[in-house]
C-alpha cells in the first residue's frame, strides 16, 4: 500500500478533546489511493499537524504510539535519532537535520472538531 503525504480537506478526525492539551496523537487515514500517517499536537484550542516522517530519515517519528513530544512537551522529538522540531512550524532546531523541517499536515479546529484543512 502506498504511503500518502497529504489528505483531502474537511476530513473530520474527531473532537478536540481526543488530543489532550499539550500532547500529540497519531492518525492513520485509509484512502483509495493509499494510507496516510500523520499526527496532531494540541496547544489549548490550537492544533498543529505533521506528516509522520522524520526530515532526517524518512522514518515515523514515534516508536511508541502517540509519543511525539519531548518529556517536557516543548518540542517534537524523533525517537530514532533525536532530531528536535519546533511544534509551531516543524523546523528542526537540534539533531542530525538542523534547519530542515517536517512536512506540515494542514489541520484546524471547527465547531470543536479537528478537521483537515
For residues 20-24, give the mean pLDDT. Answer: 97
Q: Are 22 and 42 in contact (CB under 8 A)?
A: yes
The Cα 89–Cα 87 span in angstroms is: 6
pTM, two decimals, is 0.95
Q: Average pLDDT of the chain?
A: 95
Q: Are 7 and 38 in contact (CB under 8 A)?
A: yes
The Cα 48–Cα 46 span in angstroms is: 7
Q: Is 3 helix (H, G, I), strand (E, B) or coil?
A: strand
Taking 90 as the threshold, does the pLDDT of residue 54 lie above it? yes
For residues 55-76, give the mean pLDDT. Answer: 95
The Cα 54–Cα 90 span in angstroms is: 10
Amino acid at each position: 500500500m502506498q504511503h500518502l503525504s497529504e489528505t483531502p480537506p474537511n476530513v473530520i478526525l474527531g473532537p478536540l478533546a481526543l488530543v489532550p492539551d499539550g500532547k500529540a496523537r497519531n492518525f492513520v487515514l485509509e484512502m483509495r489511493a493509499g494510507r496516510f500517517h500523520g499526527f496532531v499536537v494540541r496547544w489549548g484550542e490550537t492544533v498543529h499537524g505533521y506528516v509522520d516522517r522524520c526530515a532526517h530519515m524518512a522514518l515515523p517519528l514515534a516508536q511508541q504510539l502517540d509519543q511525539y513530544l519531548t518529556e517536557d512537551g516543548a518540542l517534537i522529538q524523533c525517537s530514532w535519532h533525536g532530531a528536535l522540531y519546533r511544534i509551531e512550524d516543524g523546523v528542526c532546531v537540534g539533531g542530525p537535520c538542523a534547519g530542515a523541517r517536517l512536512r506540515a499536515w494542514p489541520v484546524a479546529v471547527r465547531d470543536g472538531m479537528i478537521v483537515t484543512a
